[in-house]
Each structure stands twice: as C-alpha cells, then as structure tokens.
Structure 1
Amino acid sequence: MAPCIDPLRCPSYAVGCQADPFSGALYDSCCVSATGLFVFAQNFTTGLSYGPNPWTRNQVVSEIGARFTLHGLWADNCDGTFNGTKYIEPGHIKNTSLPDYDLYGCDKARSFENAAQVLATRPSKARLTKWMKTNWRAGDGDDSWFWSHEWSKHGTCTSSFNPSCYGKAFKKYDDFFDFMEVSIQVFKGLDVLSAFKAASIVPSDTVQYNITQFNAAHKAAFGVEGGMQCVKRDGVQYLSEVWTYMNEVPGHNFKAIAPIPNAFQSCKPDTLITFPLTGFKTAL
C-alpha cells in the first residue's frame, strides 16, 4: 500500500467528499481521492461483464455458479457523475472485425490491456492472480481484459493511487497491484450473498422477491441500502448486480454510505425480481 503522507495533510478523520471541518479545505488527493465518492459493484451471474471477445457465457457461468463475483471499485465525483471512457487508439483489434477496447479513464500512460501479463511479473503476487481467476470473472472468459479495463478506466481515476503518492518507494505497477488488492478487500467485507441469505433471500428459480426486500437485507448487513441492478429478458426481471456506495477514508479504506440522492437502480419496484439458481444460464 502507499505509505502514509504527512498527518497534517491527511488527518485520521478525513473523509472523501467532505472538507476539513477545521480548515474548510479539501483533503490532499493522496489522502482521500479527489473524487471521494465510489460505487462498489458486484456481479451476480446474470450480470457478468464482457469484453470484445466472442461470448462463452454458459461455460463461464457453469464455473461460477449462482453467486456474486467482483465487478469493480468505481471512482465517482461527489455529485455522482464520473469521467467517461476514452479510447487510446479507436479502431479494431488486429486481423479481426471486433472493436478495439483499449480504454482508459484518467491516465493513458498508466493504462494497459494485458493485466494477466503484468500480474505475472511479480511471482510474489501468485495468490492474488489465483483469487482473481476464481472471483473476478468476465462473462466471455477474457479475464485479463476485464481486469485491465477496471484498472485503466477506474483505477487511474482514483487519485490516492497516483505514483506521486508513493514517493521514492514507488515501483512500476505498485499502483495497479494496490488497487486490485484494495478492491478485493472491499469485496471480502461486503458479502452480499450471505447478507441476502440472512434475510431468507436465496437463489431460486421459482421464488421471487421485491426490491424492498433486497435493500432491507443490504441495510441490515451493512448499515445502508444499496443500489439494485436488474436485466429483463422474456418479461422476467433478473437481479444482475448490487452496488454499494462508499466514501474513501485514509489508508485506502472505504466505508459504506447511504446511496446518493437519485441513486441509479435499474430494478423496477413494480416488478418482482428473480434471483436465479439455475435459470441464470439462459437469462441473457
């Protein structure tokens, strides 16, 4: 992790999206990210993300089963807006008709598409790669592209991971490795499936639930409601993702907060939600 900066610039009470109550100034961007507000997204199997490759959906979901996997830690501005995706070199992947997906968010120089190769440069991080191959999955099997995308679009927009925050101790890719490690720790602290089970909400192909039940379960477990995202196929509304809104606090830590006003939820409140056990294989 990045070393702590001067405590005068990063007091222990610092919180993203809030000014220092004593000075009225914003906190140092290496203390808590200048954006301050984050969305932490977890995919249920119906909401897997896809890169540019041909879909191999049923193979991947069979490996995952009916559970949540990590999607990403997304830096938003304090009003809920965010930096749009930019293309490094718009075009097509060489020798294919597929679009070129080399995207970035805030720093082209630190963006890349070969996360698996970058991970392999540090044998000491083998456990990290192993965990990601199980719990951070792309629906088309192109996990490396997915990890690259999450770093390049979102990690480079998280200012507390900027190389300048590390000082002379910084080595190339420290920012990437730390961002992935922190994302994983947040995921481990937000066990949505267990939260739902504690409220008697379990994956089922026959029992349906409403959005109020999901949000109540999220609040009971984590103190705040979340953002429920759904996809609709053949007239059925399926839970696809769960978003948790968060603020950054010093030390690359994140705390759950209530959804911002007008927070986006794609699940329709007037339609029951299927949280599928086996039907997820044909939900999309």
Structure 2
Amino acid sequence: MAPCIDALRCPSYAVGCQADPFTGSLYDSCCVSATGLFVFAQNFTNGLSYGPNPWTRNQVVSEIGARFTLHGLWADNCDGTYNGTKWIEPGHTKNMSLPDYDLYGCDKERSFENAAEVIAADSTKSWLADWMKVNWRAGDGDDSWFWSHEWSKHGTCTSSFNPECYGPGFKKHDDFFDFMEVSIEVYKSLDILSAFKAASIVPSDTNKYNLTEFNAAHKAAFGVEGGMQCVKRNGTQYLSEVWTYMNEVPGHNFKAIAPIKGAYQSCKADTLIVFPLTGFKTAL
C-alpha cells in the first residue's frame, strides 16, 4: 500500500501541511499528499435518520443499529478549503437535481460509478466487499454509488495515491483499492462508540449530552478534539457524524490532529444533543 518513493524524497519524519525543516520545501506529493490535511468522517446513522428527506431509510437504519459506519477520508487543503471541481454531465446513475452535484474530484479519468463491479471483478478482494457491505453503508441503500463517490470525489484528490507514485508495477485500480483499504484501517483505529462509552456517553432516546462532553470524550481517546456534526428535527439536535482531523505521514498513514482554526462543527454548544438509540421512522 505504500507508494514507491525513495527516502530522499520521502523522509520518515514527513508530515502533511508542514515544510521539511532542513530544506524549507513541502514534501513530495507522492510522500504525503499535496493537500496534507484530511477529515475522516464517520456516520452515526441513527442520528442521520433525523435529518431532511430523511437521509437514511428504515431498512438501512435497522440493519446498522446504534453504531458508527465509515463515511469517508476527505482531502482538504492545509487551510481547510477543499477541491470544488464540478463535472456536470448527463448519464449519471444518480438523478441529482442540485446544481452543485458532483461525483468527480480531481481526475475524471480515474473516476467511476460502479465500485461494486470493480471490486467483484478482482477475486482477491471479496473480503473487501463483505466488510464494506456491513460497515460502509449508504443511507439510501445504494452502496456501490456511495463507494464510487468517495473514491471519485475524494480519493482522486489524494495525491499520494496517484498512479505515478507506484512505479512500473502499478495496475489499474491499485489506487482505488489502496484508498479504500487505507480508509478502513483509519476507521478501525478510531472506535468512536467505545470512546464515548468510556466517557459514559451511550446511545439513548431520552438522555441528552452537551457538546463539551462529546469533544472531551474524543480527546480522551485520541488525544485531540473532533468535529461533532448534528442534524435538527423539531428543535432537537441529534448527533449524526463525528469528524476527526488528520495529517498524512509516509506510507499512507494518518495521525489525528487538533481541529484547525475555524473548523466546521454543526452541533450547537448552547443546545443539548441526543445520541439516539433508535432511528426516526418514516413510511417507505
């Protein structure tokens, strides 16, 4: 999974968004991504079900239960901005009407909408599909499109996964598989549910917690505060996502860092938060 790059171009001490202290230059983009800063997002699907539309359907909520699933590993620029490229074209499998709808990120040629087929075509990756069908779920049930979106919009913007970083042994879709597998490893290293439980924050339809408690629990477990995201329904805040800010270090590894100044956190500090045990039910 590590890029094919020598130690001179990629010293062991390299960190995304930091200049090399000896040269004053940024590190090679195959060593640590040129963007450098990442947001790792995990969905608390029961919370998402309280959002508009609703964001999750009854069947998906009931299958997942009260736990976090992987949303994605998102490359941000070092100042917190991110790639805004839009490719508006006919023929997408999703009929999205929003004017800023985008599937593609930074490399249209490596983007696709059929991730499930790409995985199924590689007999060595059957475990990946099995894992993702349980832990990387789309709220509307269209998992393949969701996985495609995460790779196409975010993976292609992570420069350390560019084909030229691999050398002559690169095979088509090596970058996609590596990005998905690295995202899974990050997810496994950030057990948000256990972190909250250790701080006596447990899913409940009646208990309410404040924003400070959630951030303190994240810091106790991972050394830094996170970004708590909420959705609102009938005046009540429901926890829907947890973001962990990260820097890339060599070998496609990621370390948690404190949120940058002005980091987005949609949960309001002046309103208590429900960490729901059950999802909001709507008729299908």
Do Structure 1 and Structure 2 share a fold, with TM-score over 0.5? yes
1:136-151 equivalences under 5 Å are: 136-151=136-151
Find the counterpart in structure 2 of residue 230 from structure 1. Answer: 230
Distance in structure 2 (CA, Å) of the matches to 1:179 and 1:241: 21
Find the counterpart in structure 1 of residue 180 from structure 2. Answer: 180
Distance in structure 1 (CA, Å) of the matches to 2:160 and 2:222: 24
Find the counterpart in structure 2 of residue 243 from structure 1. Answer: 243
Contact 2:48 2:55 survives alignment (8 Å): no
TM-score by length of 2: 0.93
Q: C-alpha root-mean-square deviation of aligned residues, in Å?
A: 2.1
1:3 is displaced (CA, Å) by 3.8
Unpaired runs of at least 5, structure 1? none
1:98-137 equivalences under 5 Å are: 99=97, 103-137=103-137
1:259-274 equivalences under 5 Å are: 259-274=259-274
Find the counterpart in structure 1 of residue 65 from structure 2. Answer: 65
Q: Secondary structure at the match of 2:241?
A: strand
1:30-41 equivalences under 5 Å are: 30-41=30-41
Distance 1:233 1:122, change over 3 A: same
1:278 is displaced (CA, Å) by 1.3
Distance 1:97 1:189, change over 3 A: closer
Task: Name the aligned partner's letter for residue 137 of structure 1.
Answer: R
1:124 is displaced (CA, Å) by 0.6
Q: Deviations over 1:217-270 (max 9, x none)?
A: 000000000000000001110000000000000000000000000111000000
Unpaired runs of at least 5, structure 2? none
Contact 2:48 2:56 survives alignment (8 Å): no
Find the counterpart in structure 2 of residue 206 from structure 1. Answer: 206
Find the counterpart in structure 1 of residue 197 from structure 2. Answer: 197
1:152-191 equivalences under 5 Å are: 152-191=152-191
1:85 is displaced (CA, Å) by 4.4
TM-score by length of 1: 0.93
1:281 is displaced (CA, Å) by 3.9
Distance in structure 2 (CA, Å) of the matches to 1:36 and 1:98: 30
Find the counterpart in structure 1 of residue 15 from structure 2. Answer: 15
Distance in structure 1 (CA, Å) of the matches to 2:235 and 2:91: 35
Moved over 2 A (4+): 91-94, 96-102, 279-282
Q: How many residues align?
A: 277
Contact 2:3 2:30 survives alignment (8 Å): no
Distance 1:206 1:125, change over 3 A: same
Distance in structure 1 (CA, Å) of the matches to 2:276 and 2:245: 24
Distance in structure 1 (CA, Å) of the matches to 2:55 and 2:66: 19
Find the counterpart in structure 2 of residue 220 from structure 1. Answer: 220
1:279 is displaced (CA, Å) by 4.2
Q: Deviations over 1:61-94 (max 9, x none)?
A: 00000110000000000000000141251x4657
